[in-house]
Structure 1
Amino acid sequence: MELALANVQGMTAIAVGLILGMGALGTAIGFGLLGGRFLEGAARQPEMVPMLQVKMFIVAGLLDAVTMIGVGLALFFTFANPFLGVITG
């Protein structure tokens, strides 16, 4: 019983680390692509910068929202792990 409990807790810690790490990596790559494309568009058509900037900030907010969903899932698995109920119940 204790071994199964330790295995679930260990695997949950690994899963939480992967969720947070991959979320951060995806967001960083997304922001890099977003910023690069924004600068390319601003260099090509400087008169479009205000409209492009608004759209860039909207997409940046959506990118952050995806990461925050991952943080929420990681916190859920850390503090209210549903897999522990199967073992202890």
Structure 2
Amino acid sequence: MTELAAAIAVVGAALAAAFGNQAVITKTIESMTRQPELSKDLKATMFVGIALIEAMPIFAVLVALILVFVK
């Protein structure tokens, strides 16, 4: 049962990160079309945001591994 809980946690975190990345990238592209002169700054901010969003599934995998292998 622990393995199932770990798998659900990883899948949930991956889906949440995918939706989060989609939202960040969509808003960044919209902002770039409105203000092209800020595109360099917007890209840098987008990459920082994506990195923070992608940290969540990594932590979920770590917690899942702890749940599976530490008994």
* TM class, shorter-length: over 0.9
Residue in structure 2 matching 1:43, options 27, 33, 44: 33
Write the mapping of 1:23-62 to structure 2, written as runs, cut at 5 A: 23-62=13-52
Unaligned runs of 5+ in 1: 1-10, 82-89
- Bigger Rg, which one: 1
Q: TM-score, normalised by structure 2?
A: 0.95
Shift of 1:33: 0.5
Q: Which has the higher contact order (CA 8 A, sep 6+)?
A: 2
Q: TM-score, normalised by structure 1?
A: 0.76
List 4+ stretches of structure 1 deviating above 3 A.
none
Q: How many residues are aligned here?
A: 71
Aligned CA-pair RMSD: 0.8
Q: Which runs of 5+ in 2 are unaligned?
A: none
